[in-house]
């Protein structure tokens, strides 16, 4: 892909040591429906360190956004969440994101230590507040004076490429791209230790896409952490330190970004890269399985050119020198077979 990193984003796993800002272990999310169960996230393990940008990629409906909402306690009542997710930030003790309850999430986590750029900005914005007032209220809630909040609103608007004139509009007066930039400004305003950005570039034209990505990269280069949820592999390649690939509710490959883009190990990862316009431009064949009817074996089997009888067993996510893969026949050397 013809992308260039704006800064010195690490391309090896330089964040292995030190206290992570987020550890997720065995996270599983199910939704109970009247006559079915949606297996949205399965046994997901992830670690994110300060200064690191981890991109979670995969086709729509694979569970990426559910993961973000599970970490912030934003799932509907029919969801069941098991496993562990712990936030570690310097100014407080560890916070058990799954078990701490709504009160702690609302007062200690959401919008304070963890910011969220939501996927649907139109529904996330209070319709009776201008953008300026929304940002100022956010800053005031985090201890800034009125004057500081006023100046801060202008600053974060400029950071995301939002014209000050547009800051005085109501949400219904904003284009999709402007609304996207406003929710990004709201998430960045409190300077959270961890930012979860769920498709933060949707609705933006290419220069603003790059501007937003570089803004996220800049946060990591100054010591904060970002989890970027995206189906845009070009975006991930531009800024990510590490890539986690989700398919049918599971992480199937986890690699340093440079290794992922040069030598993908899981057949699904290779198919995603082959679909890019500047590579083979060949779509991934077939469709993902329904999350209400996942197979007992490898969920990618019906689409996989390498499938064998062995694949009727679920491949475990197995670590190797630089990453992890869930496949019985990984593609490149260095991975377990
Ligand atoms: S486990 Fe089998 S079907 Fe699944 S990705 Fe690997 S080779 Fe393909």
Model confidence at 204, in pLDDT bands (50, 70, 90)? confident
The pLDDT value recorded for residue 231 is: 92
194-198/114-117 β-pairing:
parallel
Confidence (pLDDT) at 321:
85
CA distance 266 to 259: 12
pLDDT digits (tens, 9 = 90+) for 161-176: 999 999 999 999 999 9
Name the 3-class secondary structure at 55.
strand
- Please tell me the predicted confidence (pLDDT) of residue 51: 97
Instruction: Please give the mean pLDDT across all residues of the chain.
Output: 91
- Quick one: pLDDT band at residue 89, thresholds 50, 70, 90? confident
Beta partners for residue 80, in sequence order: 30
At 212 the three-state DSSP class reads helix
pLDDT for position 337: 58
Binned at pLDDT 50, 70 and 90, residue 333 comes out as: low
Residue 7 has pLDDT above 50, yes or no: no
- Any idea of the CA torsion for 229, 55, 88, 74, to the nearest 10 degrees? 10
| Predicted local distance difference test score (pLDDT) of residue 90 | 77
**pLDDT confidence band for 334 (50 / 70 / 90):** low
Ligand 1 atom 1 nearest Cα: 327
C-alpha closest to that of 186 among 100, 276, 256, 125? 125
**What pLDDT digit, counting tens, does each position of 120-170 carry?**
888 889 999 999 999 999 999 988 999 999 999 999 999 999 999 999 999
CB of 307 closer than 6 A to ligand 1?
A: yes
Statement: residue 5 has pLDDT above 80:
no
pLDDT at 131: 95
Tell how far the Cα of 310 is from the centroid of ligand 1, in angstroms: 8
- Asked if the model's pLDDT at residue 2 lies above 80, the reply is no
Ligand 1 centroid from CA 266, angstroms: 8
pLDDT for 13: 42
Q: Is the pLDDT of residue 9 over 50?
A: no
Domain boundaries, the chain: 1-113+193-292, 121-191
CA 291 to chain centroid, in Å, comes to 20
Q: Give the residue among 32, 19, 42 at the shortest CA–CA distance from 78.
A: 32
Distance 47 CA to ligand 1 centre (A): 25
Decide: 83 and 27 in contact? Cβ < 8 Å. Answer: yes
CA of 268, closest atom in ligand 1: 5
Query: Is residue 264 within 6 Å of ligand 1 at its C-beta?
Result: no
| Per-residue pLDDT at 332 | 81
Alpha-carbon distance of 183 to 189, in angstroms, equals: 10
Q: How confident is the model over 188-210, as a mean pLDDT? A: 92
Angle (CA) 145 123 152, round 5°:
20
Residue 298, ligand 1, Cβ within 6 A: yes
Is the CB of residue 114 less than 8 Å from the CB of residue 192? yes
State pLDDT tens for residues 224-279. 999 999 999 999 999 999 999 999 999 999 999 999 999 999 999 999 999 999 99
**How far, in whole angstroms, is CA 183 from its chain's centroid?**
15
Looking at residue 121, its pLDDT comes to 87
Element holding 149 (H helix, E strand): helix 146-159
Mean local confidence (pLDDT), 21-28: 97
Query: Looking at ligand 1, which residue's alpha carbon is closest to its atom 3?
Result: 301
| Alpha helices for the chain (secondary structure H) | 64-71, 102-104, 121-124, 131-141, 146-159, 164-167, 176-188, 206-221, 233-239, 257-262, 267-274
Per-residue pLDDT averaged across 210-231, rounded?
95
The finding on whether 317 has its CB within 6 A of some atom of ligand 1 is: no
pLDDT at position 335 is 61
Q: Separation of 326 CA from ligand 1 center, angstroms?
A: 8
Which CATH architecture does the domain made up of 1-113+193-292 adopt? 3-Layer(aba) Sandwich (3.40)
Q: What integer pLDDT is reported at residue 12 of this predicted model?
A: 36
Is the pLDDT higher at 206 or at 92? Answer: 206
Going by pLDDT thresholds of 50, 70 and 90, the confidence category of residue 17 is low
């Amino acid at each position: 892909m013809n992308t260039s990193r704006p800064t010195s984003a690490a391309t090896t796993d330089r964040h292995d040591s030190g206290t992570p800002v987020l550890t997720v272990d065995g996270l599983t999310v199910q939704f109970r429906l009247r006559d079915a169960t949606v297996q949205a996230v399965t046994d997901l393990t992830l670690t994110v360190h300060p200064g690191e940008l981890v991109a979670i990629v995969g086709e729509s409906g694979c569970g990426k956004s559910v993961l973000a909402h599970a970490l912030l306690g934003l799932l509907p009542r029919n969801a069941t969440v098991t496993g562990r997710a712990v936030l570690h930030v310097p100014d407080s003790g560890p916070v058990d994101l799954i078990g701490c309850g709504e009160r702690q999430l609302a007062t200690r986590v959401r919008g304070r230590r963890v910011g969220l750029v939501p996927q649907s900005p139109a529904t996330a914005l209070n319709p009776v507040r201008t953008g300026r007032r929304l940002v100022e209220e956010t800053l005031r809630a985090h201890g800034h004076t009125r004057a500081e909040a006023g100046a801060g609103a202008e600053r974060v608007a400029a950071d995301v490429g939002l014209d000050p004139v547009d800051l005085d509009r109501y949400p219904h007066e904003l284009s999709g791209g402007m609304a996207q930039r406003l929710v990004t400004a709201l998430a960045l305003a409190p300077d959270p230790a961890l930012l979860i950005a769920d498709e933060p570039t949707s609705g933006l034209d290419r220069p603003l896409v790059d501007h937003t990505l570089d803004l996220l990269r800049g946060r990591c280069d100054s010591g904060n952490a970002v989890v970027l949820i995206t189906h845009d592999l070009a975006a991930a390649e531009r800024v990510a330190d590490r890539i986690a690939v989700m398919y049918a509710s599971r992480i199937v490959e986890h690699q340093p970004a440079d290794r992922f883009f040069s030598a993908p190990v899981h057949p699904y990862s290779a198919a995603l890269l082959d679909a890019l316009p500047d590579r083979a431009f060949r779509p991934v064949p077939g469709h993902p399985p329904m999350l209400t009817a996942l197979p007992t074996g490898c969920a990618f089997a019906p689409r996989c050119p390498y499938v064998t009888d062995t694949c009727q067993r679920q491949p475990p996510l197995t670590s190797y020198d630089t990453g992890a893969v869930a496949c019985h026949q990984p593609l490149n050397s260095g991975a377990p077979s």
